A and B are shown apart, each in its own frame.
Chain A
Amino acid sequence: MARMLVVDDSDYLAKATKQFLETNGHEVLALGKDGNEGVDFYKKYHPDLTLLDITMPNKDGRDCLSEILAYDENARVLVVSAVRDSDIIMECLETGAKGYVEKPLKFRDEEFCQNFRETIQSALED
């Protein structure tokens, strides 16, 4: 049971992620639509874990990640992105993301869900 923030410009994906997290016993504090909201919500709620999409309007995930970490260096952030952007993911991990979740989010695939859960768990324990 952790308090979480989901930042994704796709309303559908954000809701699906929220549903997944809630089924797994976590609390989703807010859904952010872009990087600006991500930073604002982070400052407002101080979630245990933030799931951060990379490609977003206004402020993308990389900038959002940097700002969150500048505000709180112990922030736990998981980057959600397609692995074909391995450069970006690598950059985010170097910046200080706790891990990444590979897109597409296949919530119907049990193996994917298991990986997702493990990633969340290990990010929370970190």
Chain B
Amino acid sequence: MMVRLQHISFQQKLLGTIFAVTGLSLVIMALSFIAYEYFTFRHRALTTISGLAQVVRLNSHTALAAGDTVGVNNSIAVLGGVPAVQQVSIHTSTGNIFATYQRTQDNEDVPAVEFRSEGYEFHSDYADYFEPISYGGEVVGTLFIRYRLDATTTRLQNYGLIGLVVIIAGFPFLFLFSNLLKKALCRPLVELAAVSRRVSETGDYSVRFPEQVKDEIGHLVDGFNYMLTEVEKREMDLVNMLENLEEGVLSMNPDGTIHAVHSRQVQELFDYDWGETPTIQALFGADDKQMSLFHRWLKLARQPRFLKNWKSHEKLNPFREINKESNGKKRILTTSWRPVIVDGQLRQIMLLTKDITEQRRSREVLAETRREQEALLERVLAFVGNEKSEVQGFLDGAYKLVKQMTAMTSFADLRGELLETKRDLHTLKGNAGTIGFNKLSTIAGELEDVLEANNKLDPTRRFAAWQVKIAVFQAELQRIVRLQNKLFPDGDDRMYIDRQRYDALLQDLKTGDLMVLDDIFKTVRSLDAQPFGHYCRKYQRLLTNYRSRFQKTINDLVVETPESLVHRDIMYLLEPSIIHLMRNAMDHGIESDAERQRNGKGAGTVRIGFHQNEDLLRISITDDGKGIDGEKIAEMAVKKGLISAEAVSELSSREKVELILRPGLTTNEKVSSISGRGIGMDAVTAYMEKIGGSLEIFTRIGKGTRMTLRLPLSNGHLMLAARSGLDDTGETEATIGQWAEQETVSLSAEALRSISEE
């Protein structure tokens, strides 16, 4: 009952309350009146009776004393005028009735009087009253009055009736009144309720409650409005956030239907007509297997056990990654599912969808770039240690084959050349593998496969496959040739690199940051070291030329240490000096054939040697010619005014020889066409000093001369000089080549400039 009462409307409650309170108060009022009547009527009746008794007593006591019956009867008859008096009698002191009056009309069933000399007794509808009558101080009799109480009862009944009538008659007024009150009180509340219901049903937080008087309800309304403003603001923030979210956010009911779409991105991701009842299947365009998996997943997802460990179960999600074409774009979508659990029950599942196409693509590009670089390095590796002419021969052959294969595509019938081409391809595949062009080898193998499948495929498809593969083959070939040109810019014949460093570079490429291609070349080239003998071929050519031009009999150049690896940059750095010294040795050192014959010497020999230890590098050029005559040099120096005669006399024989290194001294009177063109030994000295090295001369007259270029390796200047002086880009690098072990160089700007200008 109480529970049901709680659910009736506030208006009815209010009405009921007013009714109940008012009605109750009326009833209580009536009841209290009645109670008052009831409890006071005895006292009042007694007062009335004793008043009456007084009258009778005063009127009758003389008569009673005199025994005058008529007088007594007259005096009690007076009471006959009081309707409530039913019976009056006067008894003698002995108890006998002396006189009596009884209302005659109601003589039926009069209860007998129980005589008492004094006092009163109330019965249900009458009261008996006894009072002694005295005369002259002596009790002469007793007065008895029986008084009817009917009137009082009737009055009480009347009171009750009146109360009832008032209550009944008052109800319409009560109703009207309470209705008016109710309206005044309830209207704001009803409005409040209506508005809040609208808010909760439509989720529209923009509505506001109407302004109210500033009573408690008014404050409540203000509070509500403020709350709504806040909620609306937050809702807007949330909506904005969701709208701009890159992820598609949906919520889904546990039965697999879409509950709501939360972010705008969803529309972008799924090209879908949202007018229909959307389902996951339609959204993802999933196949039946995925859907059946999905429904099983959903079934499990509803189990509390599954919910508890959702994180790991999510991996089972059949839509972890899905390919979808929507809005004309091919996309890769990933999804992530979050349970919305209320009271341990799965209410909804939030679904976050992300477009990872770009991410995937860039990852692929990155991987592709890495693969490219690795392939490049692999190609580089193929050149290492191979004679350039060998590689060149191979490449020429490959080009020829490409032409041949391209030609084949233009003839419908391949059979004629087929066998030969197949054989050539096979050979090429093997050779490419041996040299180290692995990719080319693979492509050649694929081309072979196409030829193998010649009879199985239909002609159109065969030609298409054939052409594509040839194009790939050709592209790879071109890459190799471009690489060759980059790696051998100076027509070197063979390249050697430090394998350990090369492997480190490869590892870097696989795992580290990506490198710009040019940087890769630079790095590879910085690894480039070649056997000394390899560089010396150039000097051999120099010697051969000299020999034929000047008809001097000179043996082939003797390379003392052909296997020592020398960095390319070092050779660049020292090359001008070496050439100069070579010319000197051939021109000035080795005597003419006639002179040698006279001295019993055979053909002349020039030797070149390379020596390197941790901190010093030496290149020596030795001839077995006439040697340098210190005295002659000194004489000439004095003659040219380079030194005074006194100073010369103090010099040792070695120091006299070293005068040749001073500027402006030329020993040979006859200037040959290859040496003595303005740069003599002094130029070599100056150059060597500039790069931090020196030139050393050791000579014995008649036996020969050894000129040694010395270059301290620990000297940071060296590498810097090597780079700044020789880098064809002309830029000055402050880093030292790897072989100089990262030694940092501090050089003044002045020094840098002077080196760069060399």
Chain B residues near A87 (CB-CB < 8 A): 293
B312 to chain A, nearest CB (A): 5
CA distance A94 to B305 in the complex (A): 11
B77 to chain A, nearest CB (A): 108
B315 touches A102 (CB 8 A): yes
Give the nearest-CB partner of A89 in chain B: B316
CA distance A89 to B300 in the complex (A): 11
B308: contacting residue among A93, A94, A102, A126, CB under 8 A: A126
**Which residues 306-346 of B have a CB within 8 angstroms of A?**
306, 308-309, 311-313, 315-316, 318
CA distance A93 to B308 in the complex (A): 13
**B297 at the A/B interface (Cβ < 8 Å)?**
yes
Cβ contacts B289-311/A at 8 Å (1 or 0 each): 00001001101100001101101
B286 to chain A, nearest CB (A): 14
B311: contacting residue among A83, A86, A90, A118, CB under 8 A: A118
Chain B residues near A98 (CB-CB < 8 A): 305
Chain A residues near B308 (CB-CB < 8 A): 122, 125-126
A93: contacting residue among B306, B311, B318, CB under 8 A: B306
A115 touches B312 (CB 8 A): yes
B316 touches A86 (CB 8 A): yes
CA distance A107 to B34 in the complex (A): 95
B296 touches A115 (CB 8 A): no
Q: A83-B315, A99-B312, A119-B312 are in contact. Are A90 and B293 (CB under 8 A)?
A: yes
**A42 at the A/B interface (Cβ < 8 Å)?**
no
A22 to chain B, nearest CB (A): 22
**A100 at the A/B interface (Cβ < 8 Å)?**
yes
B315 touches A90 (CB 8 A): no
B316 touches A90 (CB 8 A): yes
B305 touches A90 (CB 8 A): no
B293 touches A86 (CB 8 A): yes
Give the nearest-CB partner of A100 in chain B: B312
Chain A residues near B296 (CB-CB < 8 A): 90, 94
Q: A86-B293, A86-B318, A94-B296 are in contact. Are A102 and B312 (CB under 8 A)?
A: yes
A99 touches B316 (CB 8 A): no
Chain A residues near B306 (CB-CB < 8 A): 93
A90 touches B297 (CB 8 A): yes
Interface residues of chain A: helix, strand, loop or mixed (majority) = helix
B316 touches A122 (CB 8 A): no
A side interface size, CB within 8 A: 19
Chain B residues near A83 (CB-CB < 8 A): 315-316
Cβ contacts A85-126/B at 8 Å (1 or 0 each): 011011001100011111000000000000100110011011
Chain A residues near B297 (CB-CB < 8 A): 90
A90 touches B309 (CB 8 A): no
**Which residues 178-214 of B have a CB within 8 angstroms of A?**
none
Give the nearest-CB partner of A119 in chain B: B312
CA distance A52 to B293 in the complex (A): 22
Chain B residues near A123 (CB-CB < 8 A): 309
CA distance A98 to B304 in the complex (A): 11
B315 to chain A, nearest CB (A): 5
CA distance A77 to B296 in the complex (A): 20
CA distance A125 to B308 in the complex (A): 10
A117 to chain B, nearest CB (A): 11
Of the candidates B296, B312, B313, the one having the most CB atoms from chain A within 10 angstroms of its own CB is: B312
**Which residues 2-48 of A have a CB within 8 angstroms of B?**
none
Give the nearest-CB partner of A123 in chain B: B309
Chain A residues near B313 (CB-CB < 8 A): 93, 99-100
Give the nearest-CB partner of B309 in chain A: A122
B300 touches A94 (CB 8 A): yes
Give the nearest-CB partner of B290 in chain A: A86
Give the nearest-CB partner of A116 in chain B: B312
CA distance A89 to B311 in the complex (A): 15
Chain B residues near A100 (CB-CB < 8 A): 312-313, 316
CA distance A111 to B369 in the complex (A): 30
B315 touches A93 (CB 8 A): no
Of the candidates B293, B296, B309, B318, the one having the most CB atoms from chain A within 10 angstroms of its own CB is: B309
Give the nearest-CB partner of B318 in chain A: A86
CA distance A17 to B299 in the complex (A): 31
CA distance A4 to B635 in the complex (A): 103
Chain B residues near A122 (CB-CB < 8 A): 308-309
CA distance A125 to B297 in the complex (A): 22
B315 touches A99 (CB 8 A): no
Of the candidates A89, A90, A122, the one having the most CB atoms from chain B within 10 angstroms of its own CB is: A90
B324 to chain A, nearest CB (A): 19
CA distance A125 to B304 in the complex (A): 12
Give the nearest-CB partner of A99 in chain B: B309
13 contacts between A and B (CB under 8 A): A90-B293, A90-B300, A90-B316, A93-B313, A94-B296, A94-B299, A94-B300, A99-B312, A100-B316, A102-B312, A102-B315, A118-B309, A118-B311
Chain B interface residues (CB < 8 Å from chain A): 293, 296-297, 299-300, 305-306, 308-309, 311-313, 315-316, 318
- Known pairs A86-B293, A93-B306, A122-B308; list 9 more (Cβ under 8 Å): A83-B315, A86-B316, A87-B293, A90-B316, A93-B316, A99-B309, A99-B312, A102-B315, A118-B311
Q: Which 8 A-B pairs have the closest CB atoms?
A: A122-B309, A90-B296, A86-B316, A99-B309, A83-B315, A119-B312, A93-B300, A122-B308
